[in-house]
Amino acid sequence: MASDASGWYARLDHECSDRLEQLSVWLDSWEEAIRHRLPIAATLPSHWPILPAGLLSDPGAVLEHLLSRHEAERDGRSPRGAHSTPGRLIESILADELKNTQRKARKAPPATLSLAAMPPGFRAYAERFNENVVRGSGDSEEVSEADGAQTRSGIPIPFADPAVGGGVVPSRAIRIHVLRSDGYDACEIREDTCRLLQGMQMADASEAAVTCTRRRLLLVLARAGLVDLDGEGDESRIGRREAEAILEDGVRCADVLRGEWPWDEAPRLLVSRPPWLRIKDRFRGHPEGSQMRKELSRELRDTKERDGNLRFAALRGNINLYRLFLERSMQLVREGCRIRMVVPDALLREKSSIALRKLMVERNEWNSSWSFPEPQRVFPGASQGVLVVGVTVGGSTEMMTSFSPLEVNEISPNSGLDNKAPFLELERGPWSVWTDMSWAVPKMPRDPYLRRAVLKAIDELADQPRLGEEGNWLNPNGRPIRVRVGEIDQTNWSSNISDWKIGSGGVPFIRGAHFCLEDGDVRINHPGYDTEIEDGAIERSQALWNGPIESRGHSRVACQAIVNAQKERRLRWAVVPPDCVLGNSVNFLELPEGVLDSLAEEHGSFDEGLLFVAAQLNSEALDLWSRAWAANNNVNNYEIESLPFPPPSTESALNYALR
C-alpha cells in the first residue's frame, strides 16, 4: 500500500508539477466531496491519476503529505523524505491527555413541587434542603466553563500548536469534541464549538500551512454538521463567514521561534509534532542554502526575550528544530499546564539533548514518555524511533514514567495508551545516580526477565569509575584513556581502498564488517589473517589499503563503531594486529604509555595485556549497560569513555549472567 501511495504522488507530479496548485485542487475537491456526500476520488480532476484505495479514507493525511512535499521543495530539500503525521497517534495522545476531562451530557432536572404549594411547616425545611443540595453539588463542569478553563466537551483552552503544519492536531481535537458533545442539544453544541475555535492558538511560519489548516478545519467542521458551507448558519450550525473569521484569528502565520507569541493569553494545553530537521540539513539544495543556514542559525542563537536574556538555553551541537520548539513551548504554556510533543526518541539518550533534558527535569515536571523503537515505523515510510513527551510546566520532576518499548497496537484513539504497556518509573534520586544528572532514559527490553537483568546491571555499574576518567583500575595515574576514531576516512580515501587480492601490495584495511562474533567471542575476520575466507565474501570487499598513511606498528584494542540495534551484542572489542590501518567505522583506545607498560608486566606480554582489557570490555554487564543508554546505532567516543569500568575483581559486574 505504501508503494501504491508513493507511486500516486510521483504520477501526480507528472500531471501537475505546481505543488501549491496540488494543494488547492485537493482542498477544492475535498469540499465538493463533503458538499455532495461523495468519495473524494469522485471529485478530483479527470486528468489526475486514479487515487489508490489506501488514500481514500483520510483526505487530511494526503493534504499533510502534499504540504510536506511543498515545504521540502521550497527549502531545496528532496520531497522523498516528506511524510504526514499519523492522525491515529495524535488522537491517542489527545485521548490520554483528556481522559480526566470527560464531561457528561446534562440530564433533565427532576420534577419539582412549588414551595408555595407546600404546607407552611415544611417550607423552611425545604428551602434549607435545596440550598444544601445546590451548595454541595460540586458541579466542576459549570465552574470550569465559567472561568474559561475548558470547553463543555472537556478540552482545555487556550489550546495551542506552535507548528501546526497541515492541521492534524486541531482537526483531531475537533473530532474528539464532536464525539464528546453527543447528548447536548444543538444550540449548546454550536456555542461550545465556537468556544473551542475561539480558544485555538495555531501557528506556523508557512503561509501555505496556515491556509491549508484553516481550510481543513472548516471542512472537518462542515462534515460534522457544525458549519454551513453555503449559508449564514442557524441555531445548530455556524455560518461559513463567521467560521472563517474565527479561524483566521485562531490560525496565524508566525515564526514563534524567532518572534513573539501572537496571542495575549498563555495556552493551557499544547500538543504538537514540530519539524524534525537539523538546520545543517535545511536549504540543502537551495542555491543560497549555505548563507540561509548561517543566517538562520545566527538568528536563533541570538534571539532574546524582552528581559534581554537569550531565548534558548538548550542550544547545543547540530541544532534540530524540534528541540527548539520543545524549549519554546515550555516558555509559552502557563505554569501548571500541559505539553504533549511528538519528537524523535533520540532525545532520551543523545548527548546533544542533555541541556534540554535538564531543563525538563530540573525546571519542569517531566511526567511521561512514550517510546516507539525504529522497527515500529510509526510514521509510514520512516524508520526513525518516535517519542511522545508529556510535561507539566513549572516545578521540578520527582518521578517520570517511561513507557517503553511500545508497539503501535498499544495506542488507541479512544483510550490513549494500553494499560498493559511496559513501563519504568524513574525516581529522581536513583535516576540522577544512574545518569550523573544527564537525565538520560534507559532503553529497556519488553521481556520482564531481560528488563530485570538490565536494571540489575545498571544498579551494579552506575557508581563505578568510568573508562575515560583518571583513577580507574587500569589507569590509576597520569593521562586519561581516550577513544579515537580509525585513522582512515572511508569516503575521502576511497580511491586508496580496494578489495583484497592475493599478491596485491598494501596492508590490511580493517572496517566494522571485519569484527566477527563467534560463540560469544569477538575476533577480526580479515583475509589478511585468514586465508580460508571465500572469494566474494563481504570481508574481502574494501579490505586493502595502499595509501600514504602507515600502520601504527603496534597492536590496539578496537571496537566496531556502528552496530545494528537488532544484533545480539552491541560492544564488540578485539585486539587488532600492528600491521593494519583502521577505517572510521572502527574506534580504538589510546592507552597511555604507563598503562601499556603495566599491562605487559602483569600479563607477560603487551598483546596478552590488550586481550585481557578487551575481555573486560566485552563483559555481558557492560553490553547490557551500553544497550540501555545507546542513542542510536553509533557506538561513539563519548559513550565509550563514559562506560563504567569496574576492577576485574568485581565479578558480579564483569562475569555477569542473566539471572
End-to-end CA distance of the chain: 44
In contact, 33 and 222? CB cutoff 8 Å = no
> Cα–Cα distance between 26 and 51 in angstroms, integer?
12
Cell of 214: 484553516
In contact, 208 and 22? CB cutoff 8 Å = no
pLDDT recorded at residue 518: 87
Task: Give the predicted TM-score (pTM) of the model.
Answer: 0.87
Handedness of CA 10, 12, 17, 23 (dihedral sign): negative
> Cα–Cα distance between 574 and 522 in angstroms, integer?
6
pLDDT recorded at residue 111: 43
Dmax (CA) of the chain: 119
In contact, 558 and 573? CB cutoff 8 Å = yes
Nearest to 490 by CA among 583, 591, 351, 411: 583
> Cα–Cα distance between 325 and 335 in angstroms, integer?
17
Name the residue type at position 489: D
> Cα–Cα distance between 189 and 237 in angstroms, integer?
9
Nearest to 572 by CA among 531, 629, 633: 633
Please tell me whether residue 212 adopts helix, strand or coil conformation.
Answer: helix
Indicate the Cα dihedral angle 464, 468, 470, 473, nearest 10°: 50
Counting Cβ atoms within 10 Å, is residue 139 exposed (0-12), middle (13-18) or buried (19+)? exposed
Please tell me whether residue 471 adopts helix, strand or coil conformation.
Answer: coil
- β-bridge partners, 556: 576
pLDDT recorded at residue 255: 97
Q: Phi, psi (5° rounding) for residue 233?
A: 85, 180
Please tell me whether residue 611 adopts helix, strand or coil conformation.
Answer: helix
> Cα–Cα distance between 353 and 176 in angstroms, integer?
33
**Cα distances (Å, whole numbers) of residue 457 to 161, 451, 452:** 40, 10, 9
List per-block mean pLDDT (blocks of 10 residues) for the chain, which spans 659 residues. 72 94 97 95 95 89 94 83 86 94 50 43 44 39 60 96 97 96 94 97 97 98 96 94 97 97 97 92 84 90 91 84 96 98 95 95 98 86 88 98 96 93 96 95 95 95 91 83 95 95 87 91 93 90 95 95 81 95 96 90 93 94 94 89 83 33
∠ Cα 258 259 261 (to 5°): 130
pLDDT recorded at residue 657: 31
